[in-house]
Amino acid sequence: MKIADVKNFSDYLAGGALALAIALAGCAPQRPYRAPLPPSGSAPIPTRVPPPAPQPEAPPGSIEIIRKPLVQDPRIREQDLEPPPAPPEKESVIPPSVSEYPTIPEAQLALPPPLPDDSSLLAKITAGVTPQRAASLRLTDEASKLLEAGEPAKAISRLERSIVIDSTNPYGYFYLAKAQHRLGRYKASLNFLDVTAARLSGDPFWLAEVHALRGENYRALGQLQQAEANYAQAMRLNSGNRTAADALLRLRADALPTTR
């Protein structure tokens, strides 16, 4: 037994005797003590989407309670749930030579004049629009602004609402695709773009946006041929699509130096 233990023990002996004495006496010593009481935001469609860095699915929690990887529904085995491969970097990856890219035929370079800007969602709320479509468009517009402000999680919650209110609103799906792209979930983004395209038939301005974003996703996934094909398709639909135009220039610029 240590000295400290002996001391503690003797303390308790004394304490025990004291408690016994208190119990027998029926009263406790009064110590005079009085503690004080406590004192009384329609944004235009961005023309160029830079390849985003993959982001985690959710910010880390403050307590360590996740014992396994986050649940992913086995019904949909989306590979994009894993951090996607980073886009090829200029310094480290030798780009393929120009001849390896499918070049755009000259005939296609004679593009039609750019389409008028149709990116304003609020402008689509006209007298004949149903209340559901109007509410859905407003939420989508709000979400697009949140996306621009770098708040994809907030944007997603509004966009999910927007497609519940009006499942035929293609813009809700488009911005969901955009939000997924921002979060680095490129395959999920491509899935949303498939749905958007199915609901957008006949609208070249927005189909061009879809193709341009597809191109961005493919580029981020390292599938440069598909990326270029989609950028080219976007340009055919709307030669004023800056995302596609810039991306095509970038792809070519990346390819050219190695051939010199």
With binding defined as CB under 8 A, does residue 24 bind another protein?
no
Segment contacting another protein (CB under 8 A): 38-46, 103-111, 222-230, 232-240? 38-46
- Helix and strand numbers, DSSP H then E, in the chain: 9, 0
Tell me which of 33, 92, 107, 150 binds another protein, using CB under 8 A.
Answer: 33
Comparing CB distances to another protein, the nearer of 11 and 100 is 11
CB 228 within 8 A of CB 101: yes
Residue 87 backbone zone (phi > 0: left; psi -120 to 50: alpha; other: beta): beta
- The residue among 140 and 241 lying less far from another protein, judged by its C-beta, is 140
Beta carbon of residue 217, minimum distance to another protein (angstroms, whole number)? 14
Size of interface with another protein, in residues (CB under 8 A): 72
247: three-class secondary structure by DSSP = helix
Q: How far is the CB of 140 from another protein (least distance, A)?
A: 12
User: Under the criterion CB under 8 A, does residue 41 sit at the interface with another protein?
Assistant: no
Among 7, 44, 78, 108, binds another protein (CB under 8 A): 78
Q: Which of 188/251 has CB closer to another protein?
A: 188
The closest of 126, 124, 162 to 143, measured between CA atoms, is 162
Instruction: Please name the amino acid found at residue 146.
Output: L
Dist CA 252 CA 50 (whole Å):
16
Chain Cα centroid distance, residue 16 = 65
Q: Which of residues 138-197 bind another protein (CB under 8 A)?
A: 138-139, 153-154, 156-157, 160-161, 163-165, 167-168, 173, 176, 180, 188, 191-192, 194-195
**Contact string 103-132 vs another protein (x = CB under 8 A):** ---------------------------xxx
- Outline where DSSP puts E strands in 9-77: none
What are the C-alpha distances in Å from 235 to residues 162, 194, 215? 29, 18, 11
Q: Does 59 bind another protein (CB under 8 A)?
A: yes
Residues numbered 86 to 105 that lie near another protein (CB under 8 A) are: none
Task: Please answer whether residues 111 and 237 qualify as being in contact, where contact means their C-beta atoms are separated by less than 8 angstroms.
Answer: no
